[in-house]
């Protein structure tokens, strides 16, 4: 017999979709195009570029490839990508702001190809960046790798959050709690919430055929964030630097498939 707790857990985990080979094919195409879009942007992220110009480049690239920008008109969002520099944690809105030498910026893109969503983000150094910024980016990417290493059938979603949190905090950085990864597929933001903190052995069971994102946000200072009056831009409360990276993944029989790997090997920035 199930306890009420276990019963609730079972109901929650059964709401997470699993997909077959056609789903994997669809996600490979969508994930690849999203990654190619970020690859395309790389040489354009230089001192002086306007975040709006990067947004336009992304929009044209996506439309030219017969895909749709998932964020455009999503809950009233009016741009193709999110660009989040320095102490902006996520959902920075492209505009007239010019990127400056020494900035670090996350660019997050989601495309829809044949109904499937490919969602990925990376960090971009703008010109030369300082040692603290480099270290934060390194910690964020290592956190992602440690989260990914937990993904296999039979593991639990809490294992991912635990691996990320224990590493990030051991590096004297903090994990943002207010935003999480998510299931995706034909739906942009689906169940489950993929937390980037938590306890080993907790949460729903990970099963073959599940599709979701891992997208840790890591701060050099405290974990608290606030959303600005535009209703989107999330910033660190203590103004400390923040970094993020995101992959869309599928669970295979023995591990994980990255749908958003960079064809040019540019997912992880080099300094």
Residue number with CB closer to ligand MF3 (17 or 91): 91
**DSSP string across the chain:** ---HHHHHHHHHHHTS----HHHHHHHHHHHHHHHHHHHHHGGG--TT-BHHHHHHHHHHHHHHTT-EESSTTGGG--SSEEEEETTEEE-PPPSSPBP-TT-EEEEEEEEEETTEEEEEEEEEE-SS--HHHHHHHHHHHHHHHHHHTT-STT-BHHHHHHHHHHHHHHTT-EE-SS--EEE-SSSSSEEEEE-SS--TT-SSBP-TT-EEEE--EEESS-S-EEE-TTSS-EEETT---EEE-BEEEEE-SSSEEESS--TTS-SS---
**Distances, alpha carbon 258 to alpha carbons 98, 132, 151, 214, in Å:** 32, 29, 11, 10
Residue number with CB closer to Co ion (103 or 108): 108
Residue 5 CB, shortest distance to Co ion, in Å, is 29
Residue number with CB closer to ligand MF3 (116 or 129): 116
Sign of CA pseudo-dihedral 40, 46, 48, 52: positive
Residue number with CB closer to ligand MF3 (151 or 234): 234
Residue number with CB closer to Co ion (190 or 246): 246
Q: Does 242 bind Co ion (CB under 5 A)?
A: no
Considering only 16-24, 37-45, 209-217, 220-228, which stretch makes contact with Co ion by CB under 5 A?
A: 209-217
Binding to Co ion in span 4-43, by CB under 5 A = none
Sequence-distant (6+) residues with CB within 8 A of 135 are: none
β-strand partners of 69: 111
Q: Using CB distances below 5 to 8 A depending on partner kind, what does residue 77 bind out of ligand MF3, Co ion, none?
A: ligand MF3
Rule CB under 6 A: which residues touch ligand MF3? 71, 74-75, 77, 82, 91, 108, 110, 119, 215, 232, 246
Residue number with CB closer to ligand MF3 (24 or 77): 77
Residue nearest ligand MF3, CB atom distance: 71
Residue 263 CB, shortest distance to Co ion, in Å, is 18
Residues in binding contact with Co ion, number by CB under 5 A = 4
From 51, 150, 213, 223, residue interacting with Co ion (rule: CB under 5 A): 213
Residue 69 CB, shortest distance to Co ion, in Å, is 12
Residue number with CB closer to Co ion (119 or 190): 119
From 119, 179, 197, 244, residue interacting with Co ion (rule: CB under 5 A): 119
Considering only 6-14, 69-77, 129-137, 242-250, which stretch makes contact with Co ion by CB under 5 A?
A: 242-250
Q: Does 190 bind Co ion (CB under 5 A)?
A: no
Q: List contacts with Co ion (CB under 5 A).
A: 108, 119, 213, 246
């Amino acid at each position: 017999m199930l306890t009420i707790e276990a019963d609730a857990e079972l109901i929650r985990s059964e709401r997470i979709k699993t997909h077959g080979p056609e789903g994997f094919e669809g996600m490979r195409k969508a994930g690849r195009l999203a990654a190619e879009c970020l690859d395309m942007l790389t040489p354009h992220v230089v001192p002086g570029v306007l975040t709006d110009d990067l947004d336009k480049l992304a929009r044209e690239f996506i439309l030219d490839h017969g895909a749709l920008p998932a964020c455009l008109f999503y809950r009233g969002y009016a741009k193709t990508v999110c660009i989040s520099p320095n102490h902006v944690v996520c959902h920075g809105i492209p505009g007239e702001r010019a990127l400056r030498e020494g900035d670090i910026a996350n660019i997050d893109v989601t495309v829809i190809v044949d109904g499937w969503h490919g969602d990925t983000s990376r960090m971009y150094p703008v010109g030369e960046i300082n040692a603290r910024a480099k270290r934060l980016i390194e910690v964020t990417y290592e956190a992602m790798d440690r989260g990914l290493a937990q993904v296999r059938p039979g593991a639990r979603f809490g294992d991912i959050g635990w691996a990320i949190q224990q590493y990030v905090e051991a590096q004297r950085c903090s994990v943002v709690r207010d935003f999480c990864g998510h299931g995706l597929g034909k739906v942009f933001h689906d169940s489950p919430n993929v937390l980037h903190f938590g306890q080993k052995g907790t949460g729903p069971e990970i099963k073959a055929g599940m599709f979701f994102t891992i997208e840790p946000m890591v701060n050099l200072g405290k974990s608290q964030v606030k959303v600005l009056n535009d209703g989107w831009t999330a910033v660190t409360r203590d103004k400390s630097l923040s970094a993020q990276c995101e992959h869309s993944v599928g669970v295979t029989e023995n591990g994980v498939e990255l749908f958003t790997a960079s064809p040019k090997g540019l997912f992880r920035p080099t300094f």
